[in-house]
Chain A
Amino acid sequence: MNQLLSLLILIPLVGGVITYLVGRFNKEATKYSALSISIITGILFLLTLTKFNIKIGKYQLVEEYSWLNSIGSQILLGIDGLSATLVGLTILLTIVAIGMSWKKIKKKKKSYYPLLLLLEAGLIGVFLSLDFIIFFIFWEITLIPMFFIIAIWGGERRLYASIKFFIYTHLSSLFLLISIIAIYLHSPIQTFSIPVLTEITQTFSPQLQLMIFIGVFIGFAVKMPIVPFHTWLPDAHVEAPTPGSVMLAGVLLKMGGYVLIRVGYMMLPSAIDLAMPILAIISIVTMFYAGFVAMGQEDLKSLIAYSSVGHMGIVLFGVASMTVYGIAGGIYQMISHGLISALLFSICGMIKKDVGTRKISKLSGLAKETPTLTGILVFGSFAGLGLPSLSGFIAELTVFIGAFSTWEIYTILAIISLIVTASYFIWMLQRTIFGESQLNSKEINWKIEITSLIPLIILIIIFGVYPDLLFDYINPFVKLITSI
């Protein structure tokens, strides 16, 4: 069986159609259909992992189908350490998102669950594609379901937020496309194959690489996002329904990090080398700026959204250091942040449902009202501020160790930003969980939601205590790409 990777994309895609058809007969059945399809995808992924040789950093299980031969594009799929971890994250978070939708999504279920599966298929496609044309198609596909999820199932200002999200990220994709076309035009071989082009682009002159990198940079800087390209994110998050936020922060932002490594670092190393100090400064600014802005937020959800911005700054910082540690730590941070932000956004949605508000100043006394939710919020906050023994710490540690050997002063500045991160989380906890309660809990039964969060909690702890589970996938890949 050598069609594992295409099946990983096709199952959620076809499953989405099936779910839609199921919905025409029985609306309630859509969620069961979606859940079983996402679980099947998960099982298939585990099967893929058994065939995946973790000792090799290169693409494996490669599939090749001819497609647009005239322009040199083909359907080329492959998996390596970077894509394996991100595909795993996508699949896990889709299941979590379905769990979080289970009771909360009430209208238009018939279209909701197929869109979620389409999103999953698009994301897996992005991470597995080794041809720029299909990569870009999947890249754009992910925007559509996300746009509708925000626009239909979102909050009050959902139209504004969804359109802003769409235009902003779509525009940035155009810059990425320009760079891809530029690479294509400069290549002596007419091909869109990423592995082939990777070898070619590395021989480009640094100036040319830098020109191409500018487009790539705008592409991932908006997606990740990096200050000052971040303002679509808080709006999109605040208005998105909880499962939408889970997918958005958990996986969609990682597409930016993925491009940073796959296209930025692997294809244009001289450009990164030239831009290193600028990237370092941008990421430090991102960490501090996002931290201070998060501190000033009134809405719990936008606080978490800004914390995402800060955390992604660490990814950029790690990769820009161009060291084994920095890149490995950056990838670790992407996975860790995916888990933590999914947890935080979920718990935030549950709190809003339970006590009727997300305003930090009104949430005081939360511990009295909903001890369990409070417990998870405290756990998530400490995971977010990088408490050792949780996954975020290992990521930050690895990034900073890597960065130390490249820049001393910048790294110390970046480490100081951890104090800001701790401050806004702790200060938020002071204003929410403590104090006399003025809230009224509806005492909703959260069994399904909490059950779907348990895997996140367990993984955050496991990745914090036993990092090899993830490093085994990341390290060979990073060693390969840094050895060039």
Chain B
Amino acid sequence: MVMEYAWLIPVPLFIVFGINILLNKRLKNRTSGYLATGAVAFSFILSTLIFISSLLTGSKFHGSVTWFQLGEHVIKAGYLIDPVSSLMLLVVSLVSFLVFIYSLEFMEDDRSKPRFFGELALFSGSMTGLVLADNFLLMFIFWELVGLCSYLLIGFWMEKSEAASGSKKAFLITRIGDILMLSGIMLMFTQIGSFGFEETFNSFGQLSGDLQTITLLLLFGGAVGKSAQLPLQVWIPDAMVGPTPVSALIHAATMVKAGVYLLARISPLLSSSPLVTSIIAYFGILTALFGAYSALTQKDIKEILAYSTISHIGFMVFAIGVMGYSASLFHLFNHSAFKALLFLAAGVVITETGKHDITKMGNFWKRGKLVPIATLIGCLSLAGIPPLGGWFSKEMILTATMQGGNYILVSLFILASFLSPIYIFRWYSLIFSTNRRKKVGDKSSGYLMVLPIVALATIAGLAGLFNSSFNEWMPWSLHHGSHAILAIGSTLVVLTGFTLAILIYHLKLIDINRIKENTLFEILHKFSFNALYIDDSYTKLGFKAFSFSILASKFDDKYVDGVINAFGAFGRKVSSKSKSFDDIGIDGVVNGVADSIKFSSSLARKIQTGLVRDYSLWILIGTITILIILKISGG
């Protein structure tokens, strides 16, 4: 059975990482890329086989070996193949494969290619490892390793100062979530004595209700950090300084989904805690709204996509919160396809125009029809226009929301899905639609960059066809609800958004500048453009921590060390006083001994800092303390 060999998936990628990093410059630039692509192709083929076999047979596989002895518990490490992990494996290895091919051309002229492909291979290896892991500890290890890769790759162009601060921010902010998650894992271990998913699911019920809630919230904290949910979402827009293939792979298609994957993994635990799921639902939907609202006014071609990613992962998290697990994962699959596609297309636009500001772009439609049409498919799917994949998954999430019957959530969800088509067609129109004043550059992209885009467009276009077989395959039973009116209504809302965006940005029938003159809109615009100022307030907090650290180090130098130095100075003073008393006293009484005193004081002076004097004082203090202690302790 092919599933037994699933553990092989990350192995070649780790080997390639080792080769690329150790040989580095000794490796020919091209070779490093081919090696990595070869490794990821292997992972992709194996993942596809596993995916197909899981789809056809619906079987599971669990293999494990003894890892180490922790106190009285034996910790095992292993891999778990079930529909959820085989879907994730396919997503990760497929997008990785396409992005690696794309990078062969995108990074053509970069001299640090071996490092780039090495770190990218480490990422794909760790990400597949994260998906395969059968216990929380192993998952957490890979969870942090993908964070490390994200850090290294955001900062790949090291001479840029934005790269330095962006990578720092990404690592530290997600670290906050990671620490929460680690606390949750340790809390569970102290209660259950195992890190394994199965064991945990079996004995979780023994925990007290409060402890269950706390543990689940801590684990959710990990998902909030990694998947950039409110209030830890601030790192993603800054992460966009990394190379575009990195943004496509790590910060759109795979790593940021790890949080959703974690929540789907622990779904057996979540189902028993309605409090936690409703908290998750509210965090998710607020993030979805926040991301969509902030995406409306951004100017950077990648930052709009970043806010859109925040928003769409918000949808996925929200779907988990309303128990629509398969809806969430189907949206995850769709989003990985169309968002990776949009990022790769943005990469083409950036290399060909050399610009990032979409308000200065236009006319891109004229550059060969393949990329614009593929991008259009991606945008339609993102917007949720039928009959594309994005529409199906949104409808599935809506159905799940209706099951809960919470109409606040339903209306928030519809509001958020109304914004998606607006910001994404603003993005598309400003880049692609005809505009006489804007010129396009004359660089053009080769087939290695175009083919992955076309492949992703095909997937995004056809994904919707599989929605019902997807549902049957997933382990969660689906409630079939008939909310036809609502489905039609929400689709109409989305279409209204779409039409609005076309009217404003493509046909320019509505003048956006005149709307902006309205004070209310101006304020709304300002808040959207600055993403509710959350980032700024964090920056201020960071500065406070920094100035506190300066204060702390001054305090340490001045007072903590100062006390010690004062002791030393005091010791020297006392000994010099006693020496001068000695000098006078002994000098006055016995003249003859003067020579010997001179000798000993010159000896003392030789040791400039007064070691001997200080030392003798300390010995004196020490002896007194001995006596006191012996006295007290009754010796």
Contacts and interface: CB of A to CB of B under 8 A. Distances in A.
A293 B618 contact: no
Contact of A185 (B71, B545, B564, B635): B635
A370 B461 CA distance: 48
B21 A375 contact: yes
19 contacts: A167-B568, A174-B619, A178-B626, A228-B563, A292-B549, A295-B549, A296-B549, A382-B148, A387-B148, A388-B141, A388-B145, A389-B141, A402-B71, A418-B175, A422-B171, A430-B165, A434-B164, A435-B158, A475-B69
Nearest to B608: A159
B462 interface: no
B159 A365 contact: yes
Contacts of A316: none
B625 A293 contact: no
Interface string A420-451: 00111011011101111100000000000000
Interface residues of A, number: 79
Contact of A468 (B68, B175, B190, B625): B68
B626 A181 contact: yes
Nearest to A386: B144
B151 to A, nearest CB: 8
Contact of A397 (B155, B186, B556, B563): B186
Interface stretch (B176-184, B428-436, B504-512): B176-184
B144 A387 contact: yes
Instruction: List 10 A-B pairs, minimum CB-CB distance, nearest first.
Output: A296-B553, A434-B164, A295-B549, A231-B561, A388-B141, A296-B549, A174-B622, A292-B552, A468-B68, A388-B144
A219 B262 CA distance: 47
Interface in B538-594: 545-546, 548-554, 556, 560-561, 563-564, 568
A328 B564 CA distance: 34
B161 interface: yes
Interface stretch (A19-27, A56-64, A103-111, A208-216): A208-216
Contacts of B550: 296
B164 A471 contact: no
Interface in B134-156: 137, 140-141, 143-145, 148, 151-152, 155
B163 A422 contact: no
Interface stretch (B313-321, B384-392, B609-617): B609-617
Contacts of A292: 545, 548-549, 552-553
Contacts of B187: 404
A227 B561 CA distance: 11
B239 to A, nearest CB: 14
Contacts of A429: 168
Interface of A: 159-160, 163-164, 166-168, 170-171, 174-175, 178, 181-182, 185-186, 208, 211-212, 214-215, 227-228, 230-232, 235, 289, 292-297, 324-325, 328, 365, 367-368, 371, 375, 378, 382, 387-389, 393, 397-398, 400-402, 404-405, 412, 415-416, 418-419, 422-424, 426-427, 429-431, 433-437, 466-468, 471-472, 475
Given A211-B633, A434-B155, 14 more contacts: A163-B609, A171-B622, A185-B630, A231-B560, A295-B546, A325-B71, A387-B144, A388-B144, A397-B186, A398-B70, A415-B179, A427-B546, A430-B165, A435-B161
B629 A178 contact: yes
A382 B562 CA distance: 33
B179 A419 contact: yes
A422 B182 CA distance: 15
B189 interface: yes
A418 B179 contact: yes
A434 B140 contact: no
Contact of A293 (B148, B549, B568): B549
Given A163-B611, A174-B622, A423-B172, A401 B70 contact: yes
A420 to B, nearest CB: 8
A423 B551 contact: no
Given A231-B560, A368-B159, A388-B145, A325 B70 contact: yes
Nearest to A385: B175
B629 A296 contact: no
A427 B145 CA distance: 19
Contacts of A431: 164
Contacts of B568: 164, 167
Of A292, A368, A436, A437, most buried by chain B (CB within 10 Å of CB) is: A292
B24 A371 contact: yes
Interface string B266-297: 00000000000000000000000000000000
A159 B186 CA distance: 47
Given A178-B626, A471-B69, A434 B635 contact: no
A229 B595 CA distance: 41
Nearest to B621: A171
A182 B629 contact: yes
Contacts of B630: 178, 181-182, 185
Interface string B116-148: 000000000000000000000100110111001
B159 A436 contact: yes
A471 B70 contact: yes
B72 interface: yes
A296 B551 contact: yes
Nearest to B182: A415
Nearest to B632: A211
B326 to A, nearest CB: 30
Interface string B43-74: 00000000000000000000000011111100
Contacts of A295: 545-546, 549, 552-553
A224 to B, nearest CB: 15
Contact of B172 (A181, A185, A230, A422): A422
B240 to A, nearest CB: 17
Contacts of B182: 397, 415
Given A175-B625, A293-B549, A401-B70, A368 B158 contact: yes
B556 to A, nearest CB: 5
B79 to A, nearest CB: 16
Contacts of B140: 388
Contacts of B69: 468, 471-472, 475
A160 B611 CA distance: 10
A467 B163 CA distance: 35
Interface string B72-93: 1000000000000000000000
B560 A182 contact: no
A378 B122 CA distance: 15
Contacts of B176: 419
Nearest to B622: A174
Contacts of B159: 365, 368, 434-437
Contacts of A368: 158-159
A429 B167 CA distance: 10
A159 B609 contact: yes
Contacts of B21: 375
Contact of B186 (A171, A230, A404, A471): A404
Contact of A430 (B143, B164, B189): B164
Nearest to B112: A371
A398 B552 CA distance: 29
Contacts of A467: 68, 70
Interface in B165-206: 165, 167-168, 171-172, 175-176, 179, 182-183, 186-187, 189-190
Contact of A422 (B161, B175, B554): B175
A375 to B, nearest CB: 7
Contacts of B165: 430
Contact of B554 (A289, A296, A378, A475): A296
